[in-house]
Structure 1
């Protein structure tokens, strides 16, 4: 009889361990690996060209053959770039979430997953996440033989909060 109880306890303990391990793995997968993510999150951006927390993975560095620089950028809610412009222009491919894009002198636009934004050469602009959403985009600096990005002042909290849902 003791042998049967011992086996039951071992079986229950084993099943409990298996269930706990499965739940633990599932939680880990959800927390650290999103199936919708196209590229890795990369390293936290540690410069003054961004407000808030952003992450960058460089996919290709500039070279003399392709004259293009490509990076995957993840913006946590409220994060954004400074005002800047690209001498050769920039293309943004929004792969996840929702954010803002604004050209100097124009209203802020909402940008969402699946959209392509063309930032003309030498046009001052900024982009980033909304206050409540994460934004992920692939940033392509084009025609880098014309020059690279020129970073300007921060987008103030007042400028950032001017989005009008018209």
Structure 2
């Protein structure tokens, strides 16, 4: 058995997030494991840009209230203990509501192929779409 060391908290890049988002990498498996787990901390109003995961992604909320939105307009409200899965290839965004902090565990798998990205990032969610998701 081995104790895994946790790297320092990192700030989410502006190309990927709106607002001051911070994350802790909890686990990054090495072959044959391809598991990835990050704790992601969103202050009120912060959220991701549109993105898609090659192998899908599971989000598990540990505190606060958050949202997950899809390209077809579906929005899911997430609260502590809720788990939401986005399948491979589904464009989505997620983050805090305008008035509440939110932390979730982001769980996904690497592709196992260095030429295939785990995550592909798109444009930022429009202010109109983010505000509409609040209702």
Moved over 4 A (4+): none
Per-residue deviation, 1:47:
3.5
In 2, Cα distance between equivalents of 1:74 and 1:41: 14
RMSD: 2.1
Task: State the partner residue of 2:23.
Answer: 56
The change in CA–CA distance for 1:40 and 1:65 in structure 2 (over 3 A counts) is closer
Asked if the contact 2:97–2:134 (Cα under 8 Å) also holds between the matched residues in 1, the reply is: no
Q: Hey, which of these two has a bigger chunk of helix by percent?
A: 1
Q: Higher relative CO (CA 8 A, sep ≥ 6), structure 1 or 2?
A: 2
Q: Hey, which of these two has a bigger chunk of strand by percent?
A: 2
TM-score (norm 2): 0.85
Stretches of structure 1 lacking an aligned partner (at least 5 in a row): 1-38
In 1, Cα distance between equivalents of 2:134 and 2:16: 25
In the alignment of these two chains, the number of paired residues is: 127
Stretches of structure 2 lacking an aligned partner (at least 5 in a row): 1-5
Per-residue deviation, 1:68:
1.4
The change in CA–CA distance for 1:45 and 1:109 in structure 2 (over 3 A counts) is same
Task: State the partner residue of 2:58.
Answer: 91
Residue 122 of structure 2 is aligned with which of 133, 152, 163? 152
